[in-house]
């Protein structure tokens, strides 16, 4: 399977594997050009398309219409703020079991799924918001993360 890939496909896949976050075709173009040899944007789009069909990379589209690519191994979901556009990655996959169930139920090999949450972040939320419970949840989450880091 690996030998069927073109050089460009391999390089793009390697690049995505090294990336912590999902990146756009434009980012890939810039990154490859600074690294070694430039690859045309059309070639990048073609390579991304084949890698997507192969099931090794996934694509998510932002509210702005921009497509971001990442390795399928990175099963990451995001909370995206509609006000400032910031995306917060969440470390759990809420549909992992659903995916397994659907695979066996429909005899279908699932390569990847997308799941996005949209709303407003703490910074952008109206200050006089009366939903105290939500804020308490956020505070707890912050506490959890700082605790996690100190270990
Ligand atoms: Zn925001
Ligand atoms: Zn997931």
* Nearest of 53, 38, 40 to residue 109 by alpha carbon: 53
Question: Under DSSP, is residue 77 helix (H, G, I), strand (E, B) or coil?
Answer: strand
Task: List the binding residues for Fe cation.
Answer: 96, 113
Confidence band, pLDDT 50/70/90 cuts, at residue 62: confident
Residues 65-109 pLDDT 10s: 889 999 886 677 889 999 998 889 888 888 989 999 999 999 999
Give which of 2, 19, 22, 20 is closest to 114, Cα–Cα: 22
Report all structural domains of the chain as residue ranges with CATH numbers, in order of start. Answer: 1-74 (1.10.10.10)
Do strands 77-81 and 116-119 pair parallel, antiparallel, or not at all (unpaired)? parallel
Which ligand is nearest the CA of 87, by number?
1
Q: What is the pLDDT of residue 130?
A: 57
d(CA 93, CA 117): 12
What's the 7 CA to ligand 2 centre distance in angstroms? 29
Which amino acids are annotated as binding site, given as ranges?
A: 81, 84, 96, 113, 121, 124
């Amino acid at each position: 399977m690996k030998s069927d890939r073109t050089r460009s496909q391999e390089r793009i896949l390697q690049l995505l594997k090294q990336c912590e976050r999902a990146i756009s075709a434009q980012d890939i173009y810039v990154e490859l050009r600074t690294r070694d040899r430039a690859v045309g944007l059309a070639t990048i789009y073609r390579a991304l398309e084949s890698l997507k069909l192969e099931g090794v990379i996934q694509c998510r589209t932002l509210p702005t219409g921009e497509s971001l690519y990442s390795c399928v191994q990175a099963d990451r979901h995001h909370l995206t703020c509609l006000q400032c556009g910031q995306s917060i990655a969440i470390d759990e996959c809420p549909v992992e079991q659903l995916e397994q169930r659907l695979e066996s139920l429909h005899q279908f090999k699932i390569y990847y799924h997308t799941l996005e949450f949209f709303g407003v972040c703490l910074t952008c939320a109206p200050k006089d918001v009366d939903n105290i419970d939500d804020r308490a949840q956020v505070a707890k989450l912050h506490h959890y993360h700082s605790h996690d880091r100190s270990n």
